[in-house]
Structure 1
Amino acid sequence: MCLYFYRNDVDYILEYTRKTLEKIGVDGIVLADMNKKPVTILPKLFEYAFYAHHKRIKKAEVEEIFHLFTNKNEMYNKLSEMATDTLNTLFEEDSSKNAISWKASF
């Protein structure tokens, strides 16, 4: 799932990858706190969504773009959904013939 927009002759694609979520965690952002701290987490979620396709964009430009957006509440909901969907891919079962099953010994 991606969020698309166009600004100043540039097509932007905002998306999260597993690598992005890893960086979010390393930087101390707890996705479980999204609903508890939207004022601090929403701008960060927005910033990290650029990393998959626009790594070289400057933080000041990301902040400027963020402030120009309308309907931030809906955007926050979509970014939260995108991050959660990406997080859930970590727990998907491998259904290929090479899948490895395991068991614990006691």
Structure 2
Amino acid sequence: MAKQLNFTYDGKDYTLEFTRRTVAEMEKKGFIASDITEKPMTTLPALFAGAFLAHHRFVKEDIINDIYSKLTKKEDLIGKLAEMYNEPILALVEEPEKAEGNLDWTATW
């Protein structure tokens, strides 16, 4: 099951999540996760906003910023967002379960 963050803001329930599609979309827009330590003022807000893309794509930036400003335990929040962001990446490179129909490959060099 995908990792999600859930909360209610202004009477509306929110579910934040990253998918392969949303991670790819963020990368296409220039998001680089490793920039978190070098450029936290731009990267952390982009990471938080990116988590809205899967279920709440059309929430305005000022609402996202207001939500972020009101969330508690920000250090834990950033850690959870990083875990969530990495989950689709890890799923992309994991080995499939052994099953009929899996493809083996060889290299010729």
| Equivalent residue number for residue 65 of structure 2 | 63
- Secondary structure at the aligned position of 2:76 is classed as helix
TM-score for the superposition, normalised by structure 2: 0.88
- Structure 2 unaligned regions, length at least 5: none
Q: Is the 8 A contact 1:20 1:52 kept in 2?
A: yes
RMSD: 1.3
Contact 1:5–1:12 (8 Å) recurs in 2: yes
TM superposition shift of 1:33: 2.5
Identity %: 34
**Within-5 A mapping of 1:57-96:** 57-95=59-97, 96=99
Alignment partner, residue 11 of structure 2:
9
CA offset digits 1:38-96 (Å, max 9, x no partner): 33211111101001111121122111111111221111111011111221111011223
Would you say the 8 A contact 1:21–1:83 is kept in 2? yes
Q: Which amino acid aligns with 2:55?
A: H
The count of corresponding residues between Structure 1 and Structure 2 is: 106
Give me the whole-angstrom Cα distance separating, in 2, the residues matched to 1:39 and 1:77. Answer: 16
Q: Which runs of 4+ in 1 moved over 6 A?
A: none
What is the Cα deviation at residue 102 of structure 1? 1.0
Of the structure 1 ranges 34-43 and 44-53, higher mean CA displacement relative to structure 2 is found in: 34-43
